[in-house]
Amino acid sequence: MGKRRILVVEDHPIFRLGLRELIDQEDDLEVCAESDDIAGALAEIPRSRPDLVIVDLALKGRSGIDLIREIRDRHGKLPVLVVSMYEEALYAERALAAGARGYVMKQEASDSIVQALRCVLEGRFHLSDKMTTSLLGRLAGAPGTVVSDPIDRLTDRELEVFRMIGQGLTTGEIAARLHLSAKTIGTYRERIKEKLNLKTAGELTVQALRRSGGD
């Protein structure tokens, strides 16, 4: 059998190179193409015909969650593995709901990333043991297993804005990245404060810094 082909969608060149070197050293895996944004990734899929797509959640202009949905809608059987710096507890369930088959954090050891790749390529789901226990507890409704998190009430777009606030971006910078008006971002900020029961912009910034590390 030929090598399984991997498309890497990651906007940080150094980490993209690291993933390529990690994957290409495996006897049965190879990186067939790379992209740093959603448009490029969607163009590469029919051209490169990957067996799996690695997606980072922080991409140029739009969230990786948007790309996962696009892949699901256009290429329903193509598996996606998220490799991200962002906290698994905050994003994994959203990524799975969008169509991803697994989630692994960049901080994990390299062999964990390769293990996750093989798991998803074999048609299984991959999450950390802690996240798997949390999701199963929620599904089972086990008392004391799952603690409600106010962040779960945020929409995907609100969570994306929250993450960017945590990166230290101003309202204007967030608006430019998301191709929205500053007024719209201001509205998102107010909704986030309301859902998280925060009173001031300072409280919002502190919470965003605490919960959303940059990559």
Give DSSP secondary structure letters for 61-122.
SSBHHHHHHHHHHHSTT--EEEEESS-HHHHHHHHHHHT-SEEEETTS-HHHHHHHHHHHHT
Alpha-carbon gap, residue 189 to 47, rounded angstroms: 40
Domain at 45, CATH number: 3.40.50.2300
Q: In this predicted model, what pLDDT tens digit does every residue of 129-174 receive, in sequence order?
A: 888 777 776 667 655 544 567 788 888 889 889 988 988 899 999 9
Taking Cα atoms as reference points, which of 53, 50, 48 lies closest to residue 38? 53
pLDDT for position 22 = 95
The total number of structural domains in the chain stands at 2
Task: Establish if 185 belongs to a structural domain.
Answer: yes
pLDDT for position 214 = 45
| 171 and 207 assigned to the same domain | yes
Point out the least confidently predicted range of 57-66, 168-177, 187-196.
57-66
How far is it between the farthest Cα atoms of the chain?
59
Q: In this predicted model, what pLDDT tens digit does every residue of 104-122 receive, in sequence order?
A: 988 887 889 999 999 999 9
Domain that holds residue 47: 4-138
Task: Establish if 95 belongs to a structural domain.
Answer: yes
| 96 and 171 assigned to the same domain | no
| 68 and 163 assigned to the same domain | no
Task: Establish if 145 belongs to a structural domain.
Answer: no
| 36 and 124 assigned to the same domain | yes
Alpha-carbon gap, residue 170 to 174, rounded angstroms: 6
| 155 and 133 assigned to the same domain | no
End position of a domain, from candidates 138, 168, 196: 138
Q: Is the pLDDT of residue 32 over 90?
A: yes
| 134 and 161 assigned to the same domain | no
Rounded (to 5) percent helix, strand, coil in the chain: 55, 15, 30
End position of a domain, from candidates 138, 160, 195: 138
Average pLDDT, integer, range 178-204: 92
End position of a domain, from candidates 89, 108, 138: 138
Q: Which of 131-135, 189-193, 204-208 has the highest mean pLDDT?
A: 189-193
| 43 and 78 assigned to the same domain | yes
pTM for the full model?
0.77
